[in-house]
Amino acid sequence: MPDKRSSLLVATRRVAIVAGFFCAVLGGLLWFNSTRLQREDETFRLVEAERLAPLKAQLREDPTNAELKQRIRELDQQLRLEYFRRESLAARGGYVLLGGAVCFIAALHLGRHLHGTRDPVLSAKPEDRRKAATLAGSAVAGTLAVLLGMTIAMVGGHTRQWLPAVAEDTEPTLEVEEWWPEPEAWSANWPRFRGPDGGGVVEMPGLPESWDGESGEHVLWKTEIPLPGENSPLVWDGMVFLTGATETERAIYGIDAATGEIRWTTPVSTPQGSRGEPPEVMEETGFAAPTAVTDGLRVVAMFANGEIAGVSTDGSPLWARHLGAADNLYGHATSLAMWRDRVIVVYDRGRAEDGLSRILALDAATGETRWSTDRPVPASWVSPMVIEHEGQAQILTAANPWIIAYDPADGSELWKVEAMSGDVAPSPAYHDGVAYFSSDGSCLIAIRVDGRGEVSNSHVLWKRDEDDYPDICSLLGDGERIYTLVFGRLFAYDAKTGEALWDQDLEDDFQASPCLVNGRLWLLTMEGEMIIGEADAEGFREVARHPLGEEIGASPAFAPGRIYLRGREHLYAIGSNED
């Protein structure tokens, strides 16, 4: 038996050696062939170029030459056959090499088995596991440290080379901290919902006396907006900004105020927003009800699915975030506000006990959260208003049941009043230290804003709860009177006492918030008709009605000599044609 084993061992050794040499020689030949092919690759192309190309050129000049065609075909076939012959040779060689390698490995295994060297052999000394653990632990820790250092070195100084040079140059400017527009620039434009102060009271020179959307009278341009939205236009230095969205798409638009041309469209998408289920919204609310905000450098827009994005005013995307899925019966519709370089977001969701509602201040340039404060309220639709009283800036918010004022510097509560009930949607009015809030089925209340803490019993100037109050349209106040639009009726109250002064049936439906421009009330009906009138303590006198010919849910935006109206499908610029 030992003799047989020895002779078998010798045989396997010989097989291993033969197979090894066979593989080495075959591998060498294939290597040589491969190198030759690599060199001949160029020769091959040269042959093709030298022999075939002139014939082809000749054929172009003499396309009916049958003999020439035949020669080209033969040469073509010759080249192809040569190519496939070489390919086949390489493939066959590979398989033969694999067979040789299998023999080689099998012979080695068998040889080691016969030789007995596959059986385990004890090392001289067993390993001290605790010592080995210490050493290995140090090695792992060291590797992690090296890994950290190397990765930081590799990606720490990483530049976003895929960004255009212009954007990179302008980026530092955008990231300058604590930049915000001059008050004059803010007031001269229409940077947010209901104008610079969010109250809808402005002086605007040169507004058109009349217009007619159907005949085109004083309609400077009319532009179709690709995606629907109930948000209102913003105006800043020759550009108009608005947003649109459907279940699957969201976009911010920059429109040339002079021509109506859509200069840029910036889609908005975040992984969470795109992946998540679209929110359920009412058709009247849609997916782009919140009005955006701009400071002249950036436009920040929010959508019903919880996505919020900042773009520069040339359309370049700056940042995008997802603030969590909206849980809102009618669809999220709260517009954005801005204080200095911070975008104020009121994101009330679900029920109060869900603990989802909060107010945030985001850096307009980067989208980073400057502060975030939880709100003990359910979903609401009131757009926040930023006011300043005796040097203290305040963000006025309202929901069920709390009316709360926040410090925009750090998000802390300044004062609060328990007064609201039901679904709270109308945005407040403010004048000279007094804020006015109201909502359908609740009350109309005037509150002094100089309090601290809960001021339900100390700072309520007056409160009425015996009338009908608005469900959507914001309050309008001029210091003397408070106006509300309730189911087609215009109501006026004494701002100082809350006494009901008068009401007038306008026989129309309203969704847009009223404005007080150049001392006159501008009331935009859902049919698209602008009712302009004068009001005093005695009553309302209608001055004019201007039809647009398209339904409207968004509030108007005003600029010197211009009115921008967003219909269901189009954006209109109304102005004097002579401008």
Considering only residues 53 to 92 of the shown chain, the ones binding another protein according to CB under 8 A are: 53, 56-57, 59-60, 76, 79-80, 83, 86-87, 90-91
52 belongs to the binding site for another protein (CB under 8 A): yes
Does residue 116 bind another protein (CB under 8 A)? Answer: yes
Q: At what angle do helices 66-115 and 53-61 cross, to 10 degrees?
A: 150
Chain centroid offset of residue 562 CA: 29
For another protein, the closer CB: 365 or 473: 365
User: Is position 139 an interface residue for another protein (rule: CB under 8 A)?
Assistant: yes
Residue 38: CB minimum distance to another protein, A:
7
Half-sphere exposure of 40 (CA within 13 A, CB side): 10
- Residue 456 CB, shortest distance to another protein, in Å, is 43
Output the smallest distance, CB 421 to another protein, in A: 40
Cα separation of 292 and 474, whole Å? 17
Entry field: residues in the chain: 579
Output the smallest distance, CB 107 to another protein, in A. 10
H helix runs in 163-270, sequence order: 165-174, 183-188
Measure the CA–CA gap between 182 and 196, rounded to whole angstroms. Answer: 12
Q: Minimum distance between the CB of residue 42 and another protein, rounded to whole angstroms?
A: 11
Amino acid present at 37: L
CA distance 335 to 406: 17
Among 189, 270, 328, 442, the residue binding another protein under the rule CB under 8 A is: 270
Question: Between residues 315 and 549, which has the closer beta carbon with respect to another protein?
Answer: 315
Q: How far is the CB of 133 from another protein (least distance, A)?
A: 5
DSSP H helix total and E strand total for the chain:
7, 34
Going by C-alpha positions, the residue among 432, 307, 291, 400 that lies closest to residue 299 is 291
Judge contact between 111 and 19, C-beta under 8 A: no
Under a CB-based contact definition with an 8 Å cutoff, are residues 438 and 429 in contact?
A: no
Interface positions, 244-263, toward another protein (CB under 8 A): none
105, 258, 282, 329: which one binds another protein (CB under 8 A) = 105
Looking at the Cβ atoms of 228 and 367, the one nearer to another protein is: 367
Residue type, 243: T
At a CB cut-off of 8 Å and minimum separation 6, what does 44 contact? 79, 82, 83
| Residue (158 or 183) nearer to another protein, CB | 158
Q: Tell me if 543 contacts another protein by CB under 8 A.
A: no
Give the binding range for another protein (CB under 8 A) out of 104-112, 449-457, 531-539, 542-550: 104-112
d(CA 530, CA 512): 10
Name which position in 275, 391, 432, 538 contacts another protein (CB under 8 A): 275
Binding positions for another protein, 310-329, rule CB under 8 A: 315-317, 320
Residue 117 found at the interface with another protein (CB under 8 A): yes
CB 53 to another protein: min, Å: 8
Interface residue with another protein among 11, 97, 204, 393 (CB under 8 A) is 97
Residue 126, CA distances (Å) to 117, 118, 130, 542 in order: 20, 20, 12, 102
Interface characters, 3-32, with another protein (x: CB under 8 A): -------------xx--xx-xx-xxxxxx-
For tokens 């030949």, what's the residue? 29
The residue (of 135 and 543) whose beta carbon lies closer to another protein is: 135
Are the C-beta atoms of 490 and 483 separated by less than 8 Å? Answer: yes
